[in-house]
Structure 1
Amino acid sequence: MLTKQKNRSTVSSAYQLIKLAWNHSQTGPESLDPTVIEKLQTQAQVAEKIIMAVLQSDAAKNQQVRQEEVNFIIEQLQQQFENPQSFTLSLQQQGLTVTQLELAIYQDLLCEKTVAAQSQDYRAASEQEALDYYQKNRAQFRHSERRNVSHILITINDLYRENSKEQARARLTQLRTLLLNDISSFPALALANSECPTALNNGLIGRVTRGQLYPQLDDVLFFMQAGTISPIIESEIGLHLLLCHEILPAGEQPEADAIKAITKQINQHRQKKCEKQWITSLLANS
């Protein structure tokens, strides 16, 4: 277990920037437009302020983070890079050493656990509450056509030769040829080659409706047949291959499933509200 004394260190906003960049575009900060970076840097600074306030609270003393949890996050980050050298280079570009990264992850996890612990006394939604909501909002539970989809992403980054547009297209062309001969190899090829976090789940994005993906992907996906591979598609974040697993026609979610989903959503909302109130109070008194 990491020592609690690490709480006193300043959390690196560079790590928060890395997290935000991946959530925004599934890429490192060095690949983003300066305007986007500026906005994410502001968000990272706010996140760091909150984390430091949480870590200095008495509530944080009751939480623990195991070394194994930190190692797991680092391993997930490393898997997004071609090799250990490119991972280290990316850290250097953000002004982080591996030791500093470990500390930032530790503090981030400790903050998450501390905040989550403050929301355990929320009032859980009753089945009647969920049913009332469902009956008043049934239209929300009618869904349009969906596609169950996986993808392989190769990002474009001229800092690395293998990620130039020419090389990325060549790599995907080779992968597409392999898939056209053996589509069952998609999970293994996605895990080994995709530069999206979905690679950890064999490239699976899941069930989507129009508008959830980049428009360039939608324009191809919703004309594909089930069990087919797309041509190479270019989006804002790189080049993709899509695998359309199945087509799910438009319909209405069964009442029992809707009630379950509504209950979960209400409970999550109330938990988040408790967390927000606690953080607001904490910042006001810091």
Structure 2
Amino acid sequence: MLQLTEAQALAYLGLKIADARYGKQLNELEGKELQEVMAQAERQYRLEEKVLAAPESQQVHLPEATLEDAWLRIRGRYETEQEFEQALALVQLTPKSYRLALSRELRIEAVLEKVASRAEPVSDEAVARFYHQYPDKFTIPEKRRTRHLLITVDENRADAGELLVLQQMEAIRARLLKRPELFSELTLRHSQCPTAVEGGQLGLVTKGLLFEALDQALFEMQAGDISPPLRSPLGYHILYCEAIIPAENTSLEQARPKILEYLQDKQRQQLQKRWMLQL
């Protein structure tokens, strides 16, 4: 039976680590990057060998269908079999050795999943304790339904360009103060932002999403207010705060499923780490 060699396993791990750390193919790395990737691959390989040698590994069965599904998903990233084989050949792998390395990886994942399954269920008390310990995590921030109108400044005209835009914006604002319902129409006519086709809609905006000057002004406005012209790196804006949706707290019952999932995942990961430290 064909066996996976250490060199092939390291090449497989190197492929995955190079992509995760640098977004590159292993054969594209050189110098320090290559050294770091292969050093990490070596450490990971040694730990994985301990996982595979543990008694739990003997209790794991990897269905052929699971391997085949993973294999087809990877193979599907390449247009042709030849392209796939050429990519593997660059790191001294073949389709057969790659499949063996993939099988090894899936077996390791199955072992770790088996270990994690021993985690104790998360209690209702733990969920409630987490909810009250971190209230900020369960606050839905205030939102403001906002529209804007943008006119850019011709930098080639220096101060004259700024003045012309400001004059135009003040004239537009004067009309809007009298008839706010014209905001969509005037935005479509004058705004130089792509949102003009939607009446300048920015949707529901939370604090911190806009340029600083715009953000500060918007969250000092009342519902129905129209701002004075506001400068940003893009030009001058007029903001229309259509409505304010107050901040609200998510109840414990609403938050329970997400807290439970988070605590369960954390508990499983901690159990896996403790188990691996004992290998």
Shorter-chain TM-score tier: 0.5 to 0.7
Alpha-carbon deviation of 1:93? 0.9
Asked whether the equivalents of residues 140 and 250 of structure 2 are also in contact (C-alpha less than 8 Å), the reply is no
Counterpart position of 2:102: 105
- Alignment of structure 1 residues 1-286 onto 2, 5 Å: 10=6, 12-24=9-21, 27-32=24-29, 34-142=31-139, 254-255=250-251, 256-282=253-279
Asked whether the equivalents of residues 142 and 253 of structure 1 are also in contact (C-alpha less than 8 Å), the reply is yes
Alpha-carbon deviation of 1:123? 2.0
Q: Secondary structure at the match of 2:127?
A: helix
Counterpart position of 1:182: none
Mapped partners of 1:71, 1:144: distance in 2:
46
Q: Secondary structure at the match of 2:116?
A: coil
Mapped partners of 1:79, 1:278: distance in 2:
35
Report the AA paired with residue 127 of structure 2. A
Query: What do the CA deviations read for 1:12-66 (whole angstroms, capped 9, x no partner)?
Result: 1111122223434555323456544332222221221112111122221111112
Mapped partners of 2:46, 2:39: distance in 1:
11
Mapped partners of 1:139, 1:271: distance in 2:
25
Mapped partners of 1:72, 1:12: distance in 2:
20
Query: What do the CA deviations read for 1:73-121 (whole angstroms, capped 9, x no partner)?
Result: 2222222234322221111111111111111111111111112212222
Change (3 A) 1:58 1:250: farther
Change (3 A) 1:26 1:68: farther
Change (3 A) 1:64 1:251: farther
Query: What do the CA deviations read for 1:124-175 (whole angstroms, capped 9, x no partner)?
Result: 2112211221122121234679xxxxxxxxxxxxxxxxxxxxxxxxxxxxxx
Change (3 A) 1:144 1:70: farther
**Structure 2 unmatched ranges of 5 or more:** 143-205, 207-244
Change (3 A) 1:251 1:62: farther
Change (3 A) 1:129 1:51: same
Change (3 A) 1:58 1:259: same
Number of positions where the alignment pairs a residue of Structure 1 with one of Structure 2? 179
Change (3 A) 1:95 1:34: same
Report the AA paired with residue 276 of structure 1. K
Asked whether the equivalents of residues 51 and 107 of structure 1 are also in contact (C-alpha less than 8 Å), the reply is no
Change (3 A) 1:107 1:276: same
Report the AA paired with residue 258 of structure 2. A
Change (3 A) 1:139 1:86: same
- Larger deviation, residues 94-103 vs 50-59: 50-59
Query: What do the CA deviations read for 1:213-246 (whole angstroms, capped 9, x no partner)?
Result: xxxxxxxxxxxxxxxxxxxxxxxxxxxxxxxxxx
Counterpart position of 1:189: none
Larger radius of gyration: 2
**Structure 1 unmatched ranges of 5 or more:** 146-208, 210-248
Report the AA paired with residue 273 of structure 2. K
Q: TM-score, normalised by structure 2?
A: 0.54
Asked whether the equivalents of residues 122 and 264 of structure 2 are also in contact (C-alpha less than 8 Å), the reply is yes
Q: Secondary structure at the match of 2:278?
A: helix
